[in-house]
């Protein structure tokens, strides 16, 4: 159980689901251990959040445990979408912990957002990768089948075709060096006060410089700092209807998992404080 996520399902305001999918990782596998490691490395955090004055244990977070993958990835995403959609129908905000980034596709489909925002080193706009249409490198492409607009914060690499696609009107790319001056108000259709349409926020831990989060599948230098990520997550939280953190693996001493766990708590506290 994620520390402090002790609410019963019937009263849950937030529902955490682990999704240990690890099938298309193209460099360093291990994302299957992400949910376990994120829960483990959250154990050292204080319950009290001094930024909001809230206690995490008071925020009605329910931990559903892990939904393990099946042999058919499309079938798995459909089942995971149904699980997250059920929680959303019960009035809880879904919190998804991966697992490879592919699991985000299920979260986006469950929330059906107008705007998809992702912290990510990669554009993930490929239609397929290595012949796989459900690769972790296709997430933003699939998100745009649902959302009207995608915003990729921290992107610094992609294929030539992906950069061409990113130049179209429905995609906004915020380079790492631009994040310090970026605000959610810069995105058409995104209202940080939560008065607009649904928003989905995904945090791929490889958005951060590998010096801060080495435990991930495809590390990419020159990334975000934890403080930059914390600001973006905190400012977006009031507008967000579904959240995930993905791509944590077991290839470090817990740095990536600790950062992921803290960002999940940051989201919940700031989201709760805005309600």
Q: Is the pLDDT of residue 188 over 80?
A: no
pLDDT at 151: 97
Please list the helix, strand and coil fractions of the chain in percent, rounded to the nearest 5, in that order.
40, 20, 40
Using CA atoms of 259, 262, 263, 265 in order, give the dihedral in degrees to the nearest 10: 160
Residue 15 in 3-state DSSP? strand
List C-alpha distances in Å: 249 to 31, 41, 112, 246, 255.
4, 12, 28, 9, 10
Per-residue pLDDT band for 193 (boundaries 50, 70, 90) equals confident
Say what the pLDDT of residue 213 is. Answer: 98
Q: How far apart are CA 49 and CA 21, in angstroms?
A: 31
User: 9-273 architecture in CATH?
Assistant: 3-Layer(aba) Sandwich (3.40)
Boundaries of every domain in the chain? 9-273
Whether pLDDT at 137 is above 80: yes
Mean per-residue pLDDT of the chain = 96
Does pLDDT of 238 surpass 90?
Answer: yes
| 98-to-136, 158, 232 alpha-carbon distances in Å | 11, 22, 20
CA distances for 69 relative to 76, 102, 116, angstroms? 6, 12, 24
Give the C-alpha separation, 233 to 263, whole Å.
7
Q: Cα separation of 102 and 22, whole Å? A: 9
Residues 6+ apart with CB under 8 A from 5: 14, 16, 61, 62, 63
DSSP 142: H
Mean per-residue pLDDT, 167-183: 96
Where helices occur in 23-97 by DSSP H, the ranges are 34-41, 73-89
* Residue 54 pLDDT > 90: yes
């Amino acid at each position: 159980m994620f520390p402090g996520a002790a609410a019963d399902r019937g009263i849950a305001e937030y529902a955490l689901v682990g999704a240990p999918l690890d099938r298309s990782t193209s460099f360093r596998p291990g994302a299957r251990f992400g949910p376990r490691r994120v829960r483990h490395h959250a154990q050292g955090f204080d319950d009290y959040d001094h930024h909001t004055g809230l206690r995490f244990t008071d925020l009605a977070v329910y931990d559903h445990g892990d939904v393990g993958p099946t042999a058919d990835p499309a079938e798995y995403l459909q089942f995971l979408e149904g699980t997250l959609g059920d929680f959303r129908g019960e009035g809880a905000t879904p919190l998804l912990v991966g697992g490879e980034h592919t699991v985000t596709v299920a979260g986006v489909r469950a929330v059906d957002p107008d705007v998809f925002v992702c912290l990510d080193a990669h554009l993930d706009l490929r239609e397929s990768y290595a012949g796989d249409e459900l690769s972790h490198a296709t997430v933003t492409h699939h998100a745009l089948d649902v959302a009207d607009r995608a915003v990729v914060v921290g992107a610094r690499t992609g294929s030539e075709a992906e950069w061409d696609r990113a130049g179209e009107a429905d995609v906004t790319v915020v380079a790492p060096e631009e994040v310090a001056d970026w605000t959610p108000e810069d995105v058409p259709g995104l209202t940080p006060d939560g008065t607009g349409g649904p928003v989905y926020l995904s945090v791929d831990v490889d958005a951060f410089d590998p010096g801060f989060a080495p435990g991930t599948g495809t590390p990419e230098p020159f990334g975000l700092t934890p403080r930059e990520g914390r600001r973006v997550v905190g400012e977006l939280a009031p507008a967000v209807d579904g959240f995930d953190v993905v791509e944590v693996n077991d290839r470090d001493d817990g740095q990536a998992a600790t950062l992921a766990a803290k960002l999940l708590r940051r989201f919940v506290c700031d989201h709760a404080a805005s309600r």
